[in-house]
Amino acid sequence: MSKRITIDPITRIEGHLRIDCEIDGGKVTKAWASGQMWRGVEQILLGRDPRDAWAITQRICGVCTTVHAIASVRAVENALDMEIPVNAQYIRNLIILAHAVHDHIVHFYHLSALDWVDVVSALKADPAKTALLAESLSTWKGNSRHEFAAVKERLAGFVGGGQLGVFANGYWGHPAMKLTPEVNLLAVSHYLQALDIQRKANKVVAILGSKTPHIQNVAVGGVANSINPDGQSVLNVERLMAVKGWIDELADFVHNVYLVDVAAIGAFYADWTGYGAGIMDYLSVPDLPLDGKGTQFALPGGYVPGGDLTKFKPITRFGDPFFKDGVEESSKHAWYKGSGPLHPFKGETEPEYTDFQDNGKYSWVKSPTFLGKPAQVGPLARVLAMAAAKHAPTLKYLTQVLDTASAVAGTKIPLAAVHSTIGRHAARAVSCSVQVDELNNMWHRLVDNIGKGDIDTFNKPEFPKGEIEGVGFHEAPRGVLSHWVVIDNGKIKNYQAVVPTTWNAAPRNENDLPGPYEMSLLNNPVADPERPLEVLRTVHSFDPCLACAVHVLDVDGSQKSTVHAGCFSPSYQCEIGS
Amino acid sequence: MRIVVLGVGNILLTDEGIGVRAIEELGRRYQLPPEVELIDGGTSAMELLDDLANCDLLIIADCVRAGKTPGDLLRLKDEEIPALFRTKLSPHQVGLPDVLATLVITHEAPTHTVLFGVEPESLATSMSLTPVVAATLPHLVDAIAQEISAAGVAVTPC
């Protein structure tokens, strides 16, 4: 008999993500992804000054504050067809990159590694063997026998004292956990080291953004940082040198720990390269503009239909009609009024709530499409586009992660393996490696430009009479983020944010085709419906910006038991922020 | 003595923003010495780890659902906090409680923690507090100021 499990929100503020799966013969046969809360943040913006939108939209999400600020100012600048100083691009790019590196490290180690790593098993590890294994993979300074022994002792203290704290409620001992005690100890040690290293990325954001969380330095027309190499309270040489120091520490960790860990852990879970592909039409956008108008970018992006790199079509500039005209959103299966897919400039957010209807409306998330089809966004889409564009650093790290995983697994893992649950983690590590290098490159670009005597950071925007519209896109950590604004006589007339998690958590669309989460869950194994770890692995691999916990229901709908598990919430308030 | 006053919540969701509003108001109404740091935490989590590490007193202002009357002000200290506030929902839910739990494993937890919670009336999409919660705001701000004074650090009204 098939069984239905529901992964539903339990948070202080109801809402967030709900995943329903029908399970038959130990596999998922049908899946629904449902956003359980209506925000309508766009409504708050109507009638406001477009220059204020970025400060308001960055409050949409707790984790991705900066990304909404960036997409918002880009949308307004695009509507005004204005150019901004290159220093402003470089400073924004540095913030974008530091935020992305922070986000990827935290997602892997602190939000999703525990789907794969059994913390309690690490207590059985031999620190000497762990050190031997670690040294065979990397030269990282934190891989000593002494370090692993100390972590094991600390962990024993927590477990012995019943104080698991952040490690409470895990699926310890679940049959789907496959790592040896030594690999578990290695991963737990790096989990703790990552707690320290992620702070460096945050410091970069804080120095350049004036404040974190919620950067203060962005403005329509540039940034508010004033540059003076010799000044006291501005962006000066001392602060720039501090930023460089943190960038170097981050690069060491990402290249020698994160990328290696993902490859090694992935090798133990090679069977997971066979699950979770789902939608293989991938969408990303280029980012890190190098000129004032956004016609040249450090990192390419575009559309990879069917996962076929030879069919890659790049998106080449801000406002590129290929992107701008390609996006639509359907409300057929979402709790909104209106019929037919609408372009975001014409987007409506008038609610029409029904119950959860399997074949009708069941989500507050709309269903976006690109060229009429669902698309997967995120690090995997980004890495595939960059590989298709023959971006050399991407190809280097992609080869490295596959080679390391192949060596540990003792079998050749092909590129096609990235279209999977574990592949999304590998792609995120590759992306992070590329981004941490770009952080260094961007720092040099900024310093060189200041060295030439250019200290401009802001061009004043002028709003015309009448109606204008613009789109701002940004390749955020979780994928394509776009803000769409219609401005009438200098006031916001319509505003729509199409966020990465909307793409991936989309419900069925106008043609009743499932979205990326829904497709990726099909045929996922589920060993124990009471503890659906495998479902969480696949959902988490997308890095959803949503929260949930698990209820297990019989097919007749009566609740049988409640299981704490669930996705993460970066904070209890975050719905479909990014 | 290092005191951190952290306001958390989402200012786009009516009364959810009370913690952030309290920080803004505290900074406006009182002169604070350098050992007191005000942080608008918004809805962030891991980004706050460094700011919250190694403080002597952490004062948190937040919107808390405790089943009381909207606008009611609640004060909890140290071990009183876990039951209401630090309930872990999942191994993946990184919220403020997780950041505090993480500070325990890194041996950087605050010596003392005080939580001021205000019962919300509405969490609808809006940038203003409801009148009943707005009426509590001055009391919340005064209570935080008193807490700082009680810890031996002088605060003076502007």
| pLDDT at B93 (0 to 100) | 46
Q: How far is B37 from chain A (nearest CA, A)?
A: 13
The answer, yes or no, to whether residue A201 has pLDDT greater than 50, is: yes
Distance between CA atoms of residues A546 and A543, nearest Å: 9
DSSP letter string over A509-561? -TT----HHHHHHTT-B-S-TTS-HHHHHHHHHT--S---EEEEE-TTS-EEE
Q: Which residues of A touch B24 (CB under 8 A)?
A: none
Q: Which residue has the higher pLDDT, A120 or B83?
A: A120
Distance between CA atoms of residues A240 and A576, nearest Å: 34
Mutation target vs B (from A54, A193, A573; most B CBs, 10 A cutoff): A573
The answer, yes or no, to whether residue A460 has pLDDT greater than 80, is: yes
| pLDDT at B125 (0 to 100) | 79
The secondary structure of residue A48, as a DSSP letter, is S
Q: How far is A379 from chain B (nearest CA, A)?
A: 20
* Nearest CB to A572; choose among B95, B101, B127: B95
Q: Where are the alpha helices (DSSP H) in A161-180?
A: none
| pLDDT at B46 (0 to 100) | 80
**Would you call B91 helix, strand, or coil by DSSP?**
coil
Distance between CA atoms of residues A415 and B82, nearest Å: 47
The two beta strands, A479-488 and A467-476, are: antiparallel
By 3-state DSSP, what share of chain A in percent is helix, strand and coil, each rounded to 5?
Answer: 45, 15, 40
In sequence order, the 6+-apart residues with CB closer than 8 A to the CB of A395 are: A387
CB contact under 8 A, B49 and A199: yes
Q: How buried is residue B31: exposed, middle or buried, by Cβ count under 10 Å (0-12/13-18/19+)?
A: exposed
The secondary structure of residue B38, as a DSSP letter, is E
Handedness of CA A490, A491, A493, A494 (dihedral sign): positive
Q: Which residue of B has its CA nearest to A42?
A: B125
Average pLDDT over residues B75-91: 60
- For residue A64, which of A199, A168, A215, A288 has the smallest C-alpha distance? A215
Give the tens place of pLDDT for each residue, A524-543.
999 888 888 898 899 889 98
Which of A174-188, B19-33, B118-132 is the least confident region? B118-132
The full 3-state SS of B102-149, as one line of letters, equals: HHHHCCCCCCEEEEEEECCCCCCCECCCCHHHHHHHHHHHHHHHHHHH
* Nearest CB to A547; choose among B50, B93, B105: B93
Distance between CA atoms of residues A151 and A155, nearest Å: 6
Distance between CA atoms of residues A411 and A124, nearest Å: 27
Q: Which residues of B touch A535 (CB under 8 A)?
A: none
- For residue A480, which of A516, A519, A509, A507 has the smallest C-alpha distance? A516
- What integer best gives the mean pLDDT of chain A? 88
| pLDDT at A62 (0 to 100) | 59
**The one-letter amino acid at A370:** F
Give the tens place of pLDDT for each residue, B35-77.
999 999 887 778 889 999 999 999 999 888 777 899 999 898 9
| pLDDT at A347 (0 to 100) | 84
| pLDDT at A400 (0 to 100) | 97
Mutation target vs A (from B18, B62, B93; most A CBs, 10 A cutoff): B93
Q: How far is B124 from chain A (nearest CA, A)?
A: 8
Distance between CA atoms of residues A104 and A111, nearest Å: 10
| pLDDT at A90 (0 to 100) | 98
Counting one residue from A and one from B, how many pairs have CB atoms under 8 Å apart? Answer: 145
Name the band, by pLDDT with cuts 50, 70 and 90, for residue A64.
Answer: confident
**The one-letter amino acid at A366:** K
DSSP letter string over A389-420? TT-HHHHHHHHHHHHHHHHHHTSPPPGGGGSS
- For residue A147, which of A190, A113, A104, A108 has the smallest C-alpha distance? A190
CB contact under 8 A, B91 and A203: no
- What integer best gives the mean pLDDT of chain B? 87
Which of A17-21, A127-131, A262-266, A381-385 is the least confident region? A17-21
Q: Which residue has the higher pLDDT, A67 or A576?
A: A67
Q: How far is A289 from chain B (nearest CA, A)?
A: 26
Q: How far is B65 from chain A (nearest CA, A)?
A: 8
Q: Which residue has the higher pLDDT, B103 or A79?
A: A79
Give the tens place of pLDDT for each residue, B123-153.
887 899 999 999 999 999 999 999 999 999 9
The answer, yes or no, to whether residue A558 has pLDDT greater than 60, is: no
* Nearest CB to A571; choose among B45, B104, B123: B45
| pLDDT at A551 (0 to 100) | 24
Average pLDDT over residues A37-53: 84
* Nearest CB to A114; choose among B13, B91, B125: B91
Q: By percentage, how much of chain A surpasses pLDDT 70? A: 89
Give the tens place of pLDDT for each residue, A416-442.
999 999 999 999 999 999 999 999 999
Distance between CA atoms of residues A96 and A171, nearest Å: 34
Q: How far is A199 from chain B (nearest CA, A)?
A: 6
What b/e readout covers A344-359, taking b as 16+ CB neighbours within 10 angstroms?
bbebebeeeeeebeee
Q: Which residue of A has its CA nearest to B96?
A: A571
Give the tens place of pLDDT for each residue, A464-491.
999 999 999 999 999 999 999 999 999 9
Name the band, by pLDDT with cuts 50, 70 and 90, for residue A14.
Answer: very low
Q: Which residues of A touch B125 (CB under 8 A)?
A: 39-41, 43-44
- For residue A459, which of A22, A112, A77 has the smallest C-alpha distance? A77
Q: Which residues of B touch A536 (CB under 8 A)?
A: 92
| pLDDT at A8 (0 to 100) | 54
The answer, yes or no, to whether residue A561 has pLDDT greater than 70, is: no
The answer, yes or no, to whether residue B83 has pLDDT greater than 70, is: no
Q: Which residues of A touch B16 (CB under 8 A)?
A: 13, 573
Q: Which residues of B touch A574 (CB under 8 A)?
A: 43
Q: Which residue of B has its CA nearest to A65?
A: B44
* Nearest CB to B12; choose among A41, A167, A565: A41
HSE, side-chain direction, 13 A CA sphere, residue A362: 23
Distance between CA atoms of residues A129 and A167, nearest Å: 24
Distance between CA atoms of residues B134 and A301, nearest Å: 47
Q: Which residue of A has its CA nearest to B52?
A: A199
Name the band, by pLDDT with cuts 50, 70 and 90, for residue A342.
Answer: very high
CB contact under 8 A, B46 and A567: no
Q: Which residue has the higher pLDDT, A9 or A238?
A: A238
Token pair of A568 as six digits = 């993460």
Distance between CA atoms of residues A428 and A422, nearest Å: 10
| pLDDT at A566 (0 to 100) | 31
